[in-house]
Amino acid sequence: MAVRDKYFALSATSALFKHAEAKLNTRFAAGSLLIRYVPVDGTMMIDPETVRNLELVGNMSNKKSPHSLFGTINHTFTSMASRLLRVNLLSPITGQSAIEARLDVVEEFVKSEDAFTNVKVSLKPMNKMDFDKLIVSLASSETKPTSTAQGASTRVSQMLNLRNIIKCIPQLQQALSGCKSHLLRIVCDMVSDERIANIDRLIAKSLNEDTLPSKHGIGAVNARVYAVKANYNRLLDVARETYKENVGDIYALNTTLSEQHDLPLTLIYHDTGFVFSLKKSDVTDELPRGFINASLKKGRWQFSSMELKKMNARMKDALDETLILSDKIIQDLVAEILIDVGALYKASEAIALVDMLLSFAHVSIMRNYVRPEFTGTLAVKAGRHPILETLRTMGTLVPNDVYCDDSSSFQIVQGPNMSGKSTYLRQVGLLTVMAMCGCFVPAEYASFRTHDALLTRLSNDDDMEKSLSTFASEMATSAMILGLATPNTLILIDELGRGTSPREGVGISHAIAEALMEHKSFVFFATHFNELSTTLSRKPSVVNLHLSVQKSRPSESNLGMTFQYKIVDGAPDDMSHYGTFRRSRLGRLELARLADLPSDVLTEAKRVSSNLSALHARNEEESESTQITTRRKALLRLRTQLKQALDHSMLPDEELLTYIGRFQRDITRAFLYGK
C-alpha cells in the first residue's frame, strides 16, 4: 500500500523486470520475490494515503483549492523552490543537524529585517523562473540540434532566460554575504563560484545586453531577433535588416489604411503574424471593403487584408532566417557553457533552498510561528492547526497542547462526534512535518523528535480500486502500519473498527493497540470505544485524553452540548463517541434531569450514585494490579524526566535540585498512595 500510488517508481520497476526478461533471459515466477519499499535515506517515509488525509500538498475536497499545507506555507518566488518545498513535505529530512541548520536560517530571517528584505529583493526578479528546467533544456538541446525556426527560437529564448537569471545572482550573493547562518554561508559560496562569472562573461561576449526581456507579442519576437550582438555575423546582420524593413512596411501600411478609411487602426501580433485591430464602438456599420477574416474578440474587431498577409509572409521568412543564423551562434555558446554546467546546477540548488527557507520565514512572521526544538519528546504548548488557522479569523481557533514521551507513547483520544478528535490528530501530524522540514510551527512552544515514518489511518472510505470494504480497507492499512512501525515511527489512527460490529471492533482495536505498544512507536489513537480506555489503561505507556464538551439543556436549536475543542487529561466520564449519554449512573441521571424530575429526587439519586462511584473507584485503586500498574507508570515517567533533565536542562544547580526534588515527592506519593 505504501507504493500503490507511486506511478513512476512502479513503472521503473516494471521496466527493470521487462529488461531482465528480454535482455538477460531471466524469468521470475509470480509471487516468488519479496519486494520491500525503502524510502530515500535520511528522509521520513509518508505513504500516499497519509499525504491525502493530512492534505500535505492538495486539498481533499477541491484539488484547485490553496487550503493545504503546501498552499499555506508556499510563498516562494522560483519554480524550483516550489518544487523543493513539495518534495520536502512528501519526504521531510530526518537528520537533526540538517534540520537545525535550516531552522538557524529561518530564525535569522525572522529576527533580521535587513537580511530578510535584502534576500527577498534579490529573489524577486527571478519570479516564476525555473533554473533547473532551463539547464536541462539547454543540455538536452546540445544532443538534439535542430535546423527549424521554431527550435532555434526556443533555444534563443532559453539563452536569454539564462542570461537574466545569471544577472540576478550577484545581487543574491551580496544579500547573503552579510548573513551569519552557517548554511547561508555555504549557499553564498555556491552562488559565488567563479565558473558562474565565467559563464556570464561568455554570454556577454555574444548576447546584446540592451535587449529587454518580454514574454508576449512583438516585444518577445524582437528580443530573440536582436539577442545576438551586431557585427557578430554579417549574414545575420543582413537578415535582421530585412526583418526590420518588413516590419516597418507593415506599420506603414497600417498608417496608410487608417488615413484612407479614417479609422484608428492598430496592430496586434499573433504567432501567425500581424492583424489589424479596431474597437467595436469605432465601427458604425460594416468594415470597409478589402478587409478579410474579421472576428470579434473582447470587444475589438480583428481582421487582415491580402496585402498584410503578403507582408506577414515576407516578414516570417526574414524572421526564420534570422533565428536560424542566431541559433548557430547560440549552439556554440551552449557548448562552452556546458563545460561548467555543474556550477549552474549548484547555483540552482542554492537558490531553491534559500527561496524555500525565506518562504518559511515569511509565513512564520505573518502567522507568529515559533522555532521548534528537537529533544526526543513531543511537547507542544498551545499548538494550532496550520491549515485551519488560515480559514479562521485571528483568535477564533482553539489551541491545544500535546505531550508524548517514552512513558506516555500510546495516547487514547476520545470525545463525541465533531468534538475535534480528527483535527487534533491531523494537527500533530502537520506540526511534525513542518518541524522536520525546518519550518517554524504555530504554537507558543514546540519540541519534537525525528521520526523515520509517519503512518496514518484517518479515513474510513471503501477502496473501490481494490474492491475493499471499509473494514477490509481498515485491516489492510493496519497491516501495513504494523509491518512498518518502529520505535521512531509516529502513528495516527482515527476510529479503527467502525467498519464492523461494536464487539468485534473493540476486540480488533485492542489487539492492534497492544501490537503497536510492543513497537514502542508514538501512537495517537482516537476511538469511540469507551471500553478501550479501561482495557488498555493498565498498560505502562497508555495515557487517556478526551475533547471536552459542556452540556446544557437541549432544545430545538441546541443539542445540549457545547464543543470546547480542548484536549484534557483522562477518559470522558459521561459522553460516548456519538454524542449520546453513556449508559452509566451519571448518564442516566443526566437524562432524568432533562426529563424534569423533582429536584429532591434528583439530589438523593445523585448522592447515592456519587457514593457508589467513589466506592468503586476506591476498590479499583486499592486492587493489587492497579497499584502495580501505577507504580510502573510512575517509574517509567521518572526515568524519562530524569533523562530529559540530564540531556536538555539549562537550569542553575539550585533550581535543578528543586526540580528533581519534585520528582522525588511524586514517586514517593505513587508508591505510598498509588497516585
pLDDT at 496 exceeding the cut of 50: yes
Residue 543 to residue 538: CA distance in whole angstroms: 9
pLDDT tens-place string over residues 623-654: 555 566 666 666 766 677 677 767 666 667 77
CA dihedral 609, 568, 512, 54 (to 10 degrees): 140
Residue 581 to residue 532: CA distance in whole angstroms: 17
Same domain, 458 and 492: yes
Determine the average pLDDT of the residues in 449-464: 79
3-state secondary structure of 558: strand
Residue 92 is assigned to a structural domain of this protein: no
Angle, vertex CA 460, rays to CA 454 and CA 463, nearest 5 = 95
Residue 394 to residue 404: CA distance in whole angstroms: 28
Alpha helix ranges (H) inside 522-652: 530-535, 585-594, 599-622, 624-648
Same domain, 612 and 661: no
Q: How many helices (H) and strands (E) does the chain have?
A: 23, 15
Residue 632 to residue 626: CA distance in whole angstroms: 10
3-state secondary structure of 264: coil
**In this structure, how many other beta carbons lie within 10 angstroms of the beta carbon of residue 48?**
14
Residue 574 is assigned to a structural domain of this protein: yes
Q: Which residue has the higher pLDDT, 611 or 392?
A: 392
**pLDDT category of residue 448 using cuts at 50, 70 and 90:** very high
Same domain, 587 and 577: no
Same domain, 484 and 588: no
Same domain, 416 and 498: yes
Single-letter code of the amino acid located at 535: T
Q: Supply the range of the domain harboring residue 656.
A: 633-673
How far apart, in Å, do the first and last CA atoms of the chain sit? 44
pLDDT at 600 exceeding the cut of 60: yes
Residue 172 to residue 102: CA distance in whole angstroms: 18
Same domain, 267 and 321: yes
pLDDT at 112 exceeding the cut of 50: yes
Same domain, 545 and 570: yes
Residue 270 to residue 304: CA distance in whole angstroms: 12
Domain count, the chain: 5
CA dihedral 377, 378, 382, 383 (to 10 degrees): 150
Q: At what angle do helices 149-177 and 182-191 cross, to 10 degrees?
A: 140
Domain of 490: which CATH number?
3.40.50.300
Residue 10 is assigned to a structural domain of this protein: yes
Residues with Cβ within 8 Å of residue 655, at least 6 apart in sequence: none
pLDDT at 622 exceeding the cut of 60: no
Beta bridge partners of 550: 562
Same domain, 609 and 644: no
Residue 491 to residue 482: CA distance in whole angstroms: 10
CA dihedral 505, 510, 511, 515 (to 10 degrees): 140
